[in-house]
Structure 1
């Protein structure tokens, strides 16, 4: 009468969970770091480091105060911090980035604002975001060759 078989929705594979998208809505404010295995889209406010193993999308209404690190990223909102992409970084026309960028490929739409230095890397370099023990407390980057 009762069947102990689990449904397909209950049995998500690791690939499906990694390909999922996490959303931080417009009305949300987070103070702290985020480390996501899957995609992440931020429309709200965040103060801290944001890392993803896949893609980060910063929406038009988003305000980020901290570093961003992902293989690919798309920015439409405001970012105060360093941005690290091992793949592509896309700055939409509404993007305002104040901080250094390190990426393999940079696409900038007409109207985007960028104040900082840009370093184009090769695929043989990896980027790690870490916090420094320095007195300013700002997150720092390290670039290591593989």
Structure 2
């Protein structure tokens, strides 16, 4: 009678919570979480999560960001490590060093960074390598 399937983001499907850094909030230091983040304030330091991070238009991160996926509309400066997809919206301003598997850049985004694109750990790719050796 009831369908338990809901249209939700991956952080909700895995039972992880969504964290929000609101406009006007500044965090100085390191943050580690299993849940996703929506940043409309400022983080100065390191943010590490196994989930998705969204930096809103008013959001600003200076330091290191290590996450699964990221959508950036605001400002990022520092070292950005994204295991999956990094999406830069038209209002994004990125400076520093970027490592990601996939990159999508909308027209208008500012991207002044060194960028390394590395494949993620894909079991299908690993099994093919083992068979060919």
Q: Is the 8 A contact 1:18 1:37 kept in 2?
A: no
Q: Larger helix proportion, structure 1 or 2?
A: 2
- For residues 52 and 20 of structure 2, what CA distance do their matches in structure 1 show? 12
- For residues 83 and 13 of structure 2, what CA distance do their matches in structure 1 show? 22
Instruction: Please tell me whether residue 41 in structure 1 is matched to residue 3 in structure 2.
Output: no
Please say which structure displays the higher CA radius of gyration.
1
Unaligned runs of 5+ in 1: 1-14, 126-146
Partner of 1:55: 52
Partner of 1:24: 21
Deviation at 1:36, TM superposition (A): 1.2
TM-score normalised according to structure 1 size: 0.72
Partner of 2:75: 78
Deviation at 1:63, TM superposition (A): 1.4
Q: What is the aligned length?
A: 111
Instruction: Please tell me whether residue 117 in structure 1 is matched to residue 114 in structure 2.
Output: yes
Deviation at 1:16, TM superposition (A): 6.9
Unaligned runs of 5+ in 2: 1-11, 123-133
Cα deviations by residue, 1:41-83 (Å, 9 ceiling, x for unpaired): 1100110011111111111101111111111011111011111
Distance 1:86 1:16, change over 3 A: closer
TM-score normalised according to structure 2 size: 0.78
